[in-house]
Structure 1
Amino acid sequence: MPTKHPHHTVRGNWAALLLPIEADDSIDFSKLAEELDILIDAGVDGIYSNGTAGEFHNQTEEEFDQIQSLLAERCRASGMPFVIGACQPDPTIMLNRLRRAVELQPAAFQVILPDWWPLTNMEAIDFLRRAADLADDIPLILYNPPHAKRALTPADLGDIGKAVPQVVGVKLADGDKDWYRQARQHLQGLALFVPGHHLATGFREGIAAGSFSNVACLSPHGAQRWTQSMHNELEAALELESRICKFMADHIVPFRRNLGYSNAALDKLLCAIGQWGPVGTRLRFPYRSIDEAELPRLRALARNMLGELF
């Protein structure tokens, strides 16, 4: 899908940078550096910071700066593309994060809409224009998940994208056939990033530029192989997607639906199931973490159902 920014290169399978949280609620930056090296070695299409799973809502400004500096340093040294999440529910803090991080020159910035009181479309446009001014020539990707105070329709997103050309992409939930019809109608020219476990469907529908991927939380190597397979083995990729979705629906989503754990807790659980990095399941207080006693059962299920990813 064409994009509106000549330097926009954010496509494919993007892995989340997850925070290794210690028992005293500190971030272990040595483990974070190790995690970055593992993701770079996995050959993912890019690495992004400060999504929901990166706990952007629960870190100090000093920690934000340290995380982004480490991300930029490691990725630049290896030629790995990176996106910085300037996200924060407070618009003033978010814009200040963006302003400070411009010097790191990421491939794009990911931003959310201010999230205490829902914005109207015009307020969203005003905010994103301010963000675009501060970002200089670095494109923006709007993160608009289902749990945002306003999950925008394709028509709303299309209007906002036309009004703010520096918004080159949207990270969002997809939907049924009617949603894809609306997306094709309203979102031409925007790069769409669908949920990781729906990426083969998004590829088949001709609508997905890629994913900021929960499947990469489970297995960055496996998610990258799966993404690449969509170009010449789409039916097999769709069949694997059906098993990924069943694993998520039957064994991961119930932790949120039935027990109230956050999406970040689920993504960290996936990482711990995959056993590929030094992250663990712990979230920063006051958010509850999923008990690691669950891991042996879930690891066996994942490897039985999704052996190709490992």
Structure 2
Amino acid sequence: MTAKTPHAAMGGNWASLLLPIAADDGIEFEKLCEELDILIDAGVDGIYSNGTAGEFHNQTEEEFDRIQAMLAERCKASSAPFVIGACQPDPLIMLNRVRRAAALDPRAIQVILPDWWPLSDAEAVDFLNRAAEAAGGIPLILYNPPHAKRVLTPKELGMVCAAVPAVIGIKLADGDDSWYAEARRHLSGLSLFVPGHHLATGIEEGVAAGAFSNVACLSPRGAQAWTVLMRNDIDAALDLERRICRFMDAHIVPFRQEFGYSNAALDKLLSAIGNWGPVGTRLRFPYRSIDTTEAIRLRRIARSELPDLFP
């Protein structure tokens, strides 16, 4: 069986740049540089900074600039595609981040809708047009996650993004069959980035272009191999997706549902389970981190249940 392919300006398996955090809450930039080299060597389709797992909400502007400069320098030297997340709950700070990000010439810039008070559709269009202006021709990716103050429906997203041609894609949560039908109806001209552990379903449905992927947090090389498998054998890819989801539901999701850890904590746990780089599980204060012993405990289970991801 061959997967259907959506019209997409960009897509594939994008790995998150996770921040190695020291005991004093400082960013360990030497380890960040090492992490970048590992991700580039893994051959992922692209690397993106400053998603939720990249702790964009908990950085100074000087740190933001240093992270993006390092990302751009390492990726350009290796011809690796990169996206800069300029997200910030404050709209003025975010627009300034967009301007500075644009100077580094990324493939795209990711933004969120300002998040202290939910925007109306008209306000969302106004903000995204202003962001497009600040980006100076660099395309935009809209990040509308489930924890946003306002999660837009496919129809609402279609109307908002149609008014801002610079928005070429959306990172969002998927849903059931009716959600996919609505996405096909209203979002067909956009690159949709679904949750990483649902990517094979999104590809099979003819909707997803790719993922800013939590599976790449677990194993960048494994997530890339899985993405290639989707192009060649979607049934086998869907089988692996079912096993990934079972692992997530049994061993990862309970840390959020039962113990209240953040999604960023879960993604860093996945990275520590995969043990592919120097990231660690520590988040910046005041956010709680999952103890490294949990990653060590789950490492054997992950390799037993998901050997395909650990070639």
Which residues of 2 match residues 51-62 of structure 1 at below 5 A? 51-62=51-62
Which residues of 2 match residues 26-175 of structure 1 at below 5 A? 26-175=26-175
1:220 is displaced (CA, Å) by 0.1
* Corresponding residue for residue 262 of structure 1: 262
3-state SS of 1:171 partner: strand
Amino acid of the structure 1 residue aligned with 2:212: F
Amino acid of the structure 2 residue aligned with 1:234: I
Distance 1:222 1:45 in 2: 12
User: Percent same amino acid at aligned positions?
Assistant: 73
Please, which runs of 5 or more residues in structure 1 have no aligned partner? Answer: none
3-state SS of 1:84 partner: strand
Aligned: 1:13 with 2:13: yes
* Corresponding residue for residue 201 of structure 2: 201
Distance 1:2 1:201 in 2: 16
Write the deviation string for residues 199-226 of structure 1: whole angstroms up to 9, x where unpaired.
0000100111000000000000000000
3-state SS of 2:231 partner: coil
Distance 2:242 2:31 in 1: 33
Write the deviation string for residues 216-242 of structure 1: whole angstroms up to 9, x where unpaired.
000000000000001111111100000
Distance 1:225 1:2 in 2: 22
Please, which runs of 5 or more residues in structure 2 have no aligned partner? Answer: 1-5
* Corresponding residue for residue 2 of structure 1: 7
Write the deviation string for residues 98-118 of structure 1: whole angstroms up to 9, x where unpaired.
111211000000000001111
* Corresponding residue for residue 273 of structure 2: 273
* Corresponding residue for residue 306 of structure 1: 306
3-state SS of 2:15 partner: strand
1:2 is displaced (CA, Å) by 2.7
1:260 is displaced (CA, Å) by 0.3
Pick which of 268-277 and 93-102 moved more. 93-102
Amino acid of the structure 2 residue aligned with 1:168: I
Distance 2:214 2:92 in 1: 29
Aligned: 1:190 with 2:190: yes
Please, what TM-score do these two structures have when normalized by structure 1?
0.97
Counting matched residue pairs gives 305
Please, what TM-score do these two structures have when normalized by structure 2?
0.97
- Root-mean-square deviation (CA, aligned residues, Å) is 0.7
Distance 1:295 1:231 in 2: 31
Pick which of 69-78 and 297-306 moved more. 297-306
1:265 is displaced (CA, Å) by 0.2
Q: Does the 8 A contact of 2:42 with 2:221 survive in 1?
A: yes
Write the deviation string for residues 144-190 of structure 1: whole angstroms up to 9, x where unpaired.
00000011000000001110011010000000000000001111101
Distance 1:295 1:225 in 2: 23
3-state SS of 1:124 partner: helix
